[in-house]
Chains A and B, each alone.
Chain A
Amino acid sequence: MSRLFSPLLRRHRLQRFEIVYWLVAVAVFFIFPRNLALATSILVMALFALSLDLVLGFSGIVSFGHAVFFGVGAYAAGLLALGGYAEPISGAIIAGLVAGFVALLMGPVVIRASGLPQIMVTLAFAVIAYEFANKAVWLTRGDDGLGGIKLMPLLGVFQWTALGQTAYWYALGWLFVLFLLIRTVLSSPFGVALQGCRENIVRMRFIGTPVLGRLMGAYVLSGFVAGIAGAISCQTSKFAGLDTLSIDRSIDALVMLVLGGVGRLYGGLLGAPVYMLVRQIAAEWNPFHWMFVVGGLLVFVVMLARGGILGLLEAIAGRISSKLSGKR
C-alpha cells in the first residue's frame, strides 16, 4: 500500500524527525553534565504529558486532574522503597499498576461525563486525592512527604550518583519504552477506534463500538503511564511530596501539551522541555516576574499557533514544500 495517504493508517511508520528527537535526548547527557537533575525532571514531565495526550489528544477525554495518577505512582513507589522493596524497575511497574487500578475505578465516572462536567469531575477527583494525602499523615507523612528513600543500584550494577547520571538514563529509558508502547497502541486498529471516539462518539456507538470499554482501555493505560512517571519522579529525586498530587502538576502537563501540540504524540515530549526551560531561564532572569514571560509565551502560542509548536512547524514545512513545488 504505497499510495496510502491516510495519516491514521501510517502512524506506525518511522519519520526522520523522530530519530533527531531521541538523538538530542541522548546528546543532552554529554552536553549538559551539570544540569542532569533538571533534564531528568523534564523527561518525567514529558512522560506525564504524553500520558495525558493519550486521553486528551487521542481519545477526547478531557482530564484536568491527571496528577492523581502521577501522585499515586509517586507515593506508591516511595512507600514500596521505604517498606524495603528497593528494586527500582519492578517498583515503578507496581506503582504504575496501582495508578492504573485507580484509573480503573475513576474511569466509569469520568468517561460517562463529557464537556464541562467531565472537567469538573476530574478536577474534583484531583482535589479529593490531594486532600486525602494531606490528611492521611500515617500513610503519606502529610506536608513532610516521603523522604529518605533508598534504592538498589539500577539493574544491580549502576549506583544512583549524586550528579544524577544513572537517574537520567533511567528516566530516558522509561520514556523511550513507554513512548514506543503508546505509539504502537495508537497505530493499531484499537488506536484508530480511539480517534474515532474523539471525532464522533455518537457515530461510534452506531457502528457497534462498545465506547465505554474502548475508552476505559485508553484511560487505564494512561493512568498506568502517568503512575510510572510519578514513580520515576520519586525514585530519581528520592522524595515524594504533596506537590506530585497538586492541581499545578495537572495544569503544568496540560500547558506543556498545548504548547507542544495536542494529539500529535510528540506534543508533550517537545512541550515539556520548552516550557520548563523557558520557566527556568525566566526565573533566573527575573525571580519576581518570570510568570509574565511564561504567560506571554502561552498567549502567543494559543493565538498564533493553534496546533502548538508542532502545528507551527507543520505549517511552515507545508508552506516551504508548496513553494518549492510551485517554482518547478
Chain B
Amino acid sequence: MSNVLEARGLWKRFGALQATNGVDLQVRAGARLALIGPNGAGKSTLVGLLTGQLRPDAGSVLLNGRDVTRDQAASRARQGLIRTFQLNNLFRGLTVLENVFLAVSERLGTARVLFRPAGCCHEVIDRASHLLDALGLGGVMHQCVWRLPYGQQRLLEIAIALSLDPKVLLLDEPAAGVPSAEVARVMDIIEALPSELAIVMIEHDMHVVRRFATEVTVLVAGAVLLSGKPQDVMASEEVHRVYLGGLGDRHPPGEAAHA
C-alpha cells in the first residue's frame, strides 16, 4: 500500500539541541499509528516538521507522494494534512459554530466570497452544525469558546480538524487534559472515523495507545528507536527502559477504568 505521508531523513537543530536526528516515517492510508516517546524526545518537533510549521535542516516530507518540504503550513493543510494541538489553539473570542464555520468555509472555498452574508451560507452552516451535533457539541454551538469546559474545547479541536476533511490527521495528545470520565468519549469519536483516513496520534497514555494503535513508533532523543505492532513494542525491554519504566508512577490506577 502506498504511503500518504512520508518523512525521509529529517534533521532539525535548535542551537545546541539536535531535536530531530534523521527520522524516517511512513504512514499508509488507513494507518492507526501512535507516536510515543519520553518528554523531549522530539515528538512535537517532528509534528512541526511534518505540518510545515518548522523547516528541516535536511530531509524531505512527502504528502500523497508529492514533495511538500517547501510548502507552507496552509498549503499542506489544503492538501489534506491536518493537525490538532496539544494545548488548545482555538478562536477563543468566537462561538463554537463560528470556529467550525471558519474551517468549513475554507474547505469549501466559500471563504473567498465577498458579497454574500456569511449567515446565508447555509451549506457551510449546515455542515458545521451537523458535525457539531455528531460530536455532542450541538448544545453549546452558540457559546463563546472561552466559556466552554476544557473537555469540550478538546472536542472542538477535533471538530475543526474533521471539518477540514483530512487525508492525514495528526492528533497531538487528544486526550490530554480531558477529565478521565470523558476520555472514552474522545476515543469513541476517534475510533468511529473513516477507516481509509490515516491517523497519527501522539499520546502518553498507554491505555489509549493500546486501544487506538495498530502500529507504534517510539521516538527517543530525536530518532526512531523502534517501530512495530503495539504488543511487540510494549514487550520490548529497551522501550521499557527508556520510556515505560516511569509510566506507572505518573498515571493513577483509577485511570485503568477506560482501558
B93 within 8 A of A: yes
Instruction: Kindly identify which residue among A189, A205, A211 contacts B105, using a CB–CB cutoff of 8 Å.
Output: A189
Give the complex CA separation of A77 and B142 in angstroms. Answer: 47
Q: Would B116 and A6 count as touching, CB distance under 8 A?
A: no
Q: Would A188 and B116 count as touching, CB distance under 8 A?
A: yes
Which of B51, B103, B111 has the most chain A CB within a 10 Å cutoff? B111
Give the complex CA separation of A192 and B51 in angstroms. Answer: 24
Say which one of B5-13, B71-79, B195-203, B206-214 lies at the interface with A: B71-79
Chain B residues lying within 8 Å of A209, measured Cβ to Cβ, are 74, 106, 111
Say which one of B121-129, B218-226, B247-255 lies at the interface with A: B121-129
Given A189-B124, A196-B94, A208-B78: A5 and B115 within 8 A (CB)?
A: no
- Taking the closest CB of chain A, its distance from the CB of B123, in whole angstroms, is 11
Instruction: Kindly identify which residue among B74, B83, B110 contacts A189, using a CB–CB cutoff of 8 Å.
Output: B110
- Taking the closest CB of chain B, its distance from the CB of A153, in whole angstroms, is 32
B183 within 8 A of A: no
* Chain B positions 84-107 with a Cβ under 8 Å from a chain A Cβ: 85, 89-95, 97-98, 101-103, 105-107
B194 within 8 A of A: no
Chain A residues lying within 8 Å of B115, measured Cβ to Cβ, are 184-185, 188
B137 within 8 A of A: no
Instruction: Kindly identify which residue among A9, A185, A200, A210 contacts B125, using a CB–CB cutoff of 8 Å.
Output: A9
- Taking the closest CB of chain A, its distance from the CB of B68, in whole angstroms, is 13
A12 within 8 A of B: yes
**Count of B residues near A, CB < 8 Å?**
43
Q: Would B72 and A204 count as touching, CB distance under 8 A?
A: no
Report the contact-size class of chain A (Cβ under 8 Å from the partner).
Answer: 35 or more
Given A6-B97, A8-B94, A199-B94: A192 and B105 within 8 A (CB)?
A: yes
Instruction: Kindly identify which residue among A207, A211, A214 contacts B103, using a CB–CB cutoff of 8 Å.
Output: A207
Chain B residues lying within 8 Å of A1, measured Cβ to Cβ, are 119, 122, 125
Q: Would B111 and A189 count as touching, CB distance under 8 A?
A: yes
Instruction: Kindly identify which residue among B73, B116, B119, B160 contacts A4, using a CB–CB cutoff of 8 Å.
Output: B119
Instruction: Kindly identify which residue among A11, A200, A205, A210 contacts B119, using a CB–CB cutoff of 8 Å.
Output: A11
Q: List 30 A-B contacts (CB under 8 A).
A: A1-B122, A3-B142, A4-B125, A6-B142, A7-B95, A8-B95, A8-B98, A9-B97, A9-B98, A10-B119, A185-B115, A188-B113, A188-B118, A189-B105, A189-B113, A190-B111, A190-B113, A192-B101, A192-B111, A193-B102, A196-B94, A199-B91, A200-B92, A203-B89, A203-B160, A205-B73, A208-B78, A208-B106, A208-B164, A214-B111
Beyond A187-B119, A193-B111, list 20 extra A-B contacts (CB 8 Å): A4-B142, A6-B97, A8-B94, A8-B95, A11-B119, A12-B118, A188-B118, A189-B111, A189-B113, A189-B121, A192-B105, A196-B91, A196-B94, A200-B92, A204-B74, A207-B103, A207-B107, A207-B160, A208-B78, A211-B74
Name A's B-contacting residues (CB within 8 A): 1, 3-13, 184-185, 187-193, 195-196, 199-200, 202-211, 214
